[in-house]
Amino acid sequence: MYAARMGDLPPYLFARIDEMKARQIARGVDVIDLGVGDPDLPTPPHVVDALCRAARDPHNHHYPSYAGMKEFREAVAIWYSRRFGVSPDPDKEVLALMGSKDGIAHIAEAFVNPGDIVLAASPGYPVYRTGTLFAQGKLHGMPLFEEHGFLPVLEDIPRAVAERARLMFFNYPNNPTTAIADQKFFIEVVEFAREHDIVVVHDNPYSEVAYDGYQAPSFLSTDGAGEVGVEMHSLSKTYNMTGWRIGMACGNADIIAGLSRVKTNVDSGVFNAVQYAAISALLGPQDCVRESCAVYQARRDTLVKGLRELGYAVTSPKATFYVWMGVEDSMQFATAMLEKAGIVVTPGTGFGPEGEGYVRFALTRPIERIQEAVGRMRVLAP
């Protein structure tokens, strides 16, 4: 019945976790979900108000622009300029997305021929693999090891692989490892991409979820980045808008044009009212972002302190709303957490082979629930 490619498509990790969680809830377990990274904080009121106003306007009830409203693309350019000192051309270098997942899932179809290699970090966001499969490419994992700061070692990629590679995905601040990267690493990526004629995609949805004064850079602020790549960004995590499905791709005009050409054939754009709400988020007051980060930082401190007191070795992240912790067997640990403590965590193996030996906690529950989770974990403490 199904196409052959469906046999290569693994079950989506978070869907599997939802099934496991549902079984426990059906048994009457009070489950604390620290698995999927879906913010529990509300979308800022001024953003919701902007949506409501725009939704009542009949002019917004028709098909939207495929590329996104000019006003939205201009707002993205202004936000990038203010935040990163980069000024993408809103007419050629900015594209509206239905969340960054939309762009990540479709970009390989524009640049990858059957059999071409796609480089992607492992562990990494599962959609890097999914998009590659649908484009009939071959994924080559770039291992992320703790001893290298969870950065891929580009010189370890075999030359024969690099010469066949058409696309590279990477992501900092990193999901799931929480690692960060500096401009030195971004410069290495630009040089590598130039040498091997590779299209670079930097997935950057967590740049604004940062702590202790840390400010994450944009790949596009690196000299030469605009010649070789694009950056996918999203309002989902920054403004607690996961359900709104709005994001953007910025960078090289030819790469943006290729992605846009695919998208014009598979979707009809983002509802204008959502774009007006996004404009309000990008250009409006940013206190809401700082307030969200303060909440996540308090949760981070509570979880990290609790885990350390239980005897776990864990690093306090500078960005993302995750905590990445080493364990002996990721799936075994995650299953035991759910069955013995009623806690959902994400097994690292779901992010790729190099994720084995780790689990990911999401800081997307109130601090009281995190404290309760730490208390329940005593039954599993080393």
185 plus 265 within the same structural domain = yes
Mean per-residue pLDDT, 199-213 = 98
Are residues 192 and 171 both part of a single domain? yes
For residue 127, the model assigns a pLDDT of 95
Whether the full predicted model's pTM is greater than 0.85, yes or no, is yes
> In this predicted model, what pLDDT tens digit does every residue of 344-359 receive, in sequence order?
999 999 999 999 999 9
Q: Indicate the residue among 283, 312, 330 that finishes a domain.
A: 283
> Collapsing DSSP states into helix, strand and coil, what is residue 42?
coil
15 token code pair:
């869907």
CA distances from 278 to 68, 99, 247 (A): 11, 11, 9
Asked which of 254, 283, 312 is the last residue of a domain, the reply is 283
Radius of gyration of the chain (CA): 21
192 with 319, same domain: the answer is: no
Domain boundary among 239, 258, 283: 283
Whether 78 shows a pLDDT value over 80: the answer reads yes
Model confidence over 42-61: pLDDT tens digits? Answer: 999 999 999 999 999 999 99
The span from the CA of 196 to the CA of 164, in Å, is: 8
pLDDT at 15 over 80: no
Alpha helices, DSSP H, located in the chain? 13-26, 45-55, 70-84, 100-111, 127-134, 159-164, 183-196, 225-228, 253-266, 272-283, 287-309, 330-341, 367-376
pLDDT greater than 80 at residue 12: no
Instruction: Note whether 227 and 194 are within 8 A (CB).
Output: yes
Q: Let me know whether 257 and 339 are in one domain.
A: no
Q: Which two tokens stand for residue 133?
A: 């499969």
The span from the CA of 73 to the CA of 297, in Å, is 31
Measured CA to CA, the distance from residue 374 to residue 276 in angstroms comes to 41
**Domain residues for 28?**
4-42+287-380
Task: Give the C-alpha separation, 24 to 330, whole Å.
Answer: 19
With 90 as the cut, is the pLDDT of residue 377 above it? yes
Average pLDDT over residues 302-330: 97
Q: How many angstroms from the chain centroid is the CA of residue 64?
A: 25
Same domain for 95 and 223, yes or no, is yes
CATH number at residue 305: 3.90.1150.10
Per-residue model confidence (pLDDT) at position 4: 82
- Give yes or no for residue 205 having a pLDDT over 90: yes
**Confidence (pLDDT) at 14:** 66
Task: Inform me whether the pLDDT recorded for 13 exceeds 70.
Answer: no
* Residue 323 Cα distances to 87, 280, 313, 362, angstroms: 33, 31, 11, 7
CATH code, domain carrying 165: 3.40.640.10
**Helix, strand, or coil (residue 319):** strand
270-283 confidence digits (pLDDT tens)? 999 999 999 999 99
Q: Are strands 358-362 and 346-347 parallel, antiparallel or unpaired?
A: antiparallel
Q: Percent of the chain having pLDDT more than 70?
A: 98
Mean pLDDT of the chain: 96
pLDDT at position 21 over 90: no
* Residues 50 and 180 reside in one and the same domain: yes
User: Would you state the structure tokens that stand for residue 207, as one six-digit string?
Assistant: 């740049």
| Residues 125, 255 within the same domain | yes
Residues 68 and 198 in one domain: yes
**Average of pLDDT values for 170-198?**
98
Supply the pLDDT for residue 303: 98
How many independent structural domains does the chain possess?
Answer: 2
| Cis-peptide, bond into residue 173, ω within 30° of zero | yes
- Compute the distance between CA of residue 178 and CA of residue 324 in angstroms, rounded to an integer: 7
Say yes or no: 23 and 86 in one domain.
Answer: no
DSSP codes joined into one string, 177-228:
T-----HHHHHHHHHHHHHHT-EEEEE-TTTT-B-TT--PPPGGGSTTHHHH
Could you tell me if 191 and 258 lie in one domain? yes
On whether both 103 and 150 belong to a single domain, the answer is yes
Task: State whether 62 and 151 are in the same domain.
Answer: yes
Q: C-alpha distances in angstroms, 156 versus 153, 194, 218, 219, 349?
A: 6, 17, 24, 21, 22
Q: How confident is the model at residue 310 (pLDDT cuts 50, 70, 90)?
A: very high
